[in-house]
Amino acid sequence: MFIVGIVAAFLLIFLLDLKKLINANQRKTTLLAYLLLLTTGFSISLLQILADKPPSPAVYIEKMIDFLLGGGTP
Amino acid sequence: MFLLLLAFIYGSSAIINSAVGAYQDAWFAFIIGWFSSYLLIGVYVYLSLLHPQRTLIDILTECFGRFFGKIFATFYIFYFIHLAALVLRNFGEYMNTVNYPDTPLLFLLIALAVVTAFAVRNGLEAISRVNEILMPFAIFFVIALFFIFFHTYELKNLLPFLDKGFAHVLKISFGVLTFPFGETVVFLMIFPSLNKKENLLKTTSLSITASGLILLIITLRDLMALGPELINTIIFPPHSTTGLLPDFVIDPFIAANLLINGGLKIVICLYAASLGITQLFGLQDYKLFVLPITAIVISLSNWIYESLPEMLRWAAEVYPIYAIPFQFIIPITLLLISIIKKKRSTEKTTN
CA torsion sign for B311, B315, B317, B319 is positive
Q: Please say whether the beta carbons of B29 and B173 come within 8 A.
A: yes
CATH (residue range B2-343):
1.20.1740.10
Instruction: Say what the ipTM of the complex is.
Output: 0.91
pLDDT block averages, 10 residues each, chain B of length 351: 84 76 85 92 91 90 91 94 91 85 90 91 87 85 83 82 84 87 91 83 91 89 84 77 74 77 89 93 89 93 85 85 92 93 84 71
Contact B304 A61 (CB under 8 A): no
A73 Cβ under 8 Å from any chain B Cβ: yes
Name the minimum distance, in Å, from the CA of A20 to any CA of chain B.
7
d(C-alpha B174, C-alpha B328), whole Å: 12
Nearest Cα neighbor of B220 from B163, B149, B172, B290 is B149
Contact B321 A73 (CB under 8 A): yes
The predicted structure's pLDDT at residue B3: 84
The predicted structure's pLDDT at residue B335: 93
Name the minimum distance, in Å, from the CA of A4 to any CA of chain B.
16
Nearest Cα neighbor of B40 from B330, B348, B342 is B330
CA torsion sign for B194, B197, B199, B205 is positive
Higher pLDDT, A70 or B271: B271
Nearest to A74 among B285, B287, B317 (CB): B317
Nearest to B295 among A10, A24, A25 (CB): A10
B277 Cβ under 8 Å from any chain A Cβ: yes
Distances (CA, A) of B13 to B87, B181, B305, B314: 10, 10, 19, 15
B314 Cβ under 8 Å from any chain A Cβ: yes
Domain boundaries, chain B: 2-343
Residue A72 pLDDT greater than 60, yes or no: no
Q: Please say whether the beta carbons of B135 and B214 come within 8 A.
A: no
The predicted structure's pLDDT at residue B94: 85
The predicted structure's pLDDT at residue B277: 93
Domain boundaries, chain A: 2-69
d(C-alpha B41, C-alpha B286), whole Å: 26
A71 pLDDT band, cuts 50/70/90, is low
B114 Cβ under 8 Å from any chain A Cβ: no
Name the minimum distance, in Å, from the CA of A16 to any CA of chain B.
9
Tell me: the pLDDT tens digits for A5-29? 889 999 999 999 888 888 888 888 8
Name the minimum distance, in Å, from the CA of A68 to any CA of chain B.
11
